[in-house]
Structure 1
């Protein structure tokens, strides 16, 4: 039964889902309890938040990405460049762009040294990212916060087509 509700996240730990629904707006124990009751009821009735999220993300991808992008076999470098181009088109502040540019530049250098930059994007694994992060944490003496920010970028934010 648990396998239907919770999936292993990166084959290491249980994936979490969070429900906040205006919790900071109301800031009361009664509201929090009502929210908890509603979530528990939905789960008992068969609602799978992970499946819902997957379906939602798939719908968003279908609306955004043209067929030529979806069916293309991307190299790692093409995927990273495409990701940066999309962020640059959003007219973000320089600091926001830098948040993505610098880690991707470091990753690009790391991949190039290992001659992986022209490999298909789908060969890039969590193990590659972890090795990159660990090496740079040691070499650049990153703080825990810097390490975690980079890890979050590659784990959550970096959505490359494919």
Structure 2
């Protein structure tokens, strides 16, 4: 059974969200615990599914993907075969950063990283438009990222 979060658990999550590379001793000091109970809480938060993993965030511009493009996609049909096929195709494309099945006018919201407009044209022609079942897409280039987070920060009492 998943234990509800208390104030200390929420503090630990906020600290790790800010910097997951901190040592257990550093986290413990920041949340007012000794290292052993802090380590036990972090392990429990992982086991209970509050912490699902740790990642390294890379600077896509320095890696040659200078543009972020948001693509809205409508499929021809919505049967299981097409949805699963589309999902597998998106997962296989390294340019695709995020994919959301959505409600509304479009079926999917896709975030991709490409090298300029030429890179985006190549992505469209050689990859996206070769995926079966796409009826329509609409693209928007991001001019600037104003906020980027990967999880919500839990409120601390």
Q: Which has the larger radius of gyration?
A: 2
Greater share of residues in helix: 1
Higher strand proportion (structure 1 or 2) = 2
* TM band (smaller chain): under 0.3
TM-score (norm 2): 0.22
TM-score by length of 1: 0.21
